[in-house]
Amino acid sequence: MATPSEPVRGTDAVSRSRRGGKRLPRRAAPGRRSFASAMKTLEALAASGAQVSVRVDDLDRGTEVLAGDDFTSVPVAGLGVVPVLIELAARFESGEISPLEIVERGALDPVSVSGLWRHLAAPALPLQDLAVLAASAGDALAANALLHRVGLPSVRARIEQLGLARSAVMDSFRDSRGPDDAPHVAVGSAREYASLFGSLVNADVVSPGVSAQVSEWLSLGHDLSLVAAATGLDPFGHEDDEHGLLFVNKTGRAAGVRAEAGVLAGPRAGVSYALFVGFDDLSIAHRLRAHDAFRVLGVELMEYVF
């Protein structure tokens, strides 16, 4: 299912480092990792009937590290909030929308699939705070408020402008979907989302200011239970890691859907990645098997960057 890029073989620099116990140079990392465990786990998951899409790119070299069905458009659930955040940040920067514009919760259709705002006493919040809730806590009500404010047509136009031909935001979050509703919140390809996150941290999305704002919101993410479980980071405060680990991610969760995309950078290398899994959520065992695939990939990504 997944195929790694041809690894760079050992060099004299690597050999000297192993003999002398010195720190490996940053660009030695690609030659040390084959992602064999991740490949084995993902292939077993696909063989069990799950739909698996994966992409890992080396940020320094601009090369593919691991790919499998990465061009396929699949449901990504809450990961679809990223293009909404990009459009919102662009509107903030242009002055079309004020970050302090207030949104009344009572003006929105109720939704309880995820999030914190519905549990808070505050009946209204500024758009800036709603962006933080949508990015950090996967707040469905906050995400709906942002999508309503910028408009679905504008988000779709932004996606097209970003060149994401196989990704789309289709609808707002809903507690239930009827025959007249879109079947999913969003779809996307692993290749496009890995590239999008790489472009965000490289300040290439819309403008440096927009890229920085969206990256800042996403760096507050609390869901470190999938790929990020291997990082050892504090879910509630990891913007400035003492070990020099840069991490930005966003997850998506729905019935039978797990998705994550992000950037992980350490002293030896940096990667952008995306892993999307669609599975039959028939039991806790089925769900945990899907989650385990994310964590195995996370361990090998950590070994790659450190």
- pLDDT, residue 12, reads 31
Distance CA 276, CA 74 (A): 8
Determine the length of the chain: 306
Percent of the chain with pLDDT over 90: 80
What single DSSP character describes residue 183? S
Q: pLDDT tens digit string along 217-249?
A: 999 999 999 999 999 998 888 877 778 899 999
**Which amino acid would we find at residue 209?**
G
pLDDT over threshold 90, residue 210: yes
What single DSSP character describes residue 203? T
Residue 69 in contact with residue 78, Cβ under 8 Å?
A: no
Q: pLDDT tens digit string along 125-167?
A: 999 999 999 999 999 999 999 999 999 999 999 999 999 999 9
Task: Name the region of 108 (left: φ>0; alpha: ψ -120 to 50; beta: rest).
Answer: beta
- pLDDT, residue 242, reads 76
What single DSSP character describes residue 96? S
In degrees and rounded to multiples of 5, residue 223 shows phi and psi of: -85, 95
When pLDDT is averaged across residues 297-302 and rounded to a whole number, the result is 97
| Residue that is written with structure tokens 């989650």 in the block | 291
Model confidence, pTM: 0.88
Distance CA 240, CA 261 (A): 20
Distance CA 104, CA 106 (A): 5
- pLDDT, residue 113, reads 86
Distances (CA, A) of 282 to 52, 288, 292: 17, 11, 16
pLDDT over threshold 80, residue 22: no
Where do the domains of the chain lie, and which CATH numbers do they carry?
3-305 (3.40.710.10)
pLDDT over threshold 60, residue 8: no
Q: pLDDT tens digit string along 159-202?
A: 999 999 999 999 999 988 888 889 999 999 999 999 999 999 99
Distance CA 113, CA 45 (A): 27
Distances (CA, A) of 50 to 32, 138, 292: 29, 24, 13
Residue 150 in contact with residue 169, Cβ under 8 Å?
A: no
Distance CA 135, CA 139 (A): 8
- pLDDT, residue 11, reads 30
Q: What is the average pLDDT score of the chain?
A: 89
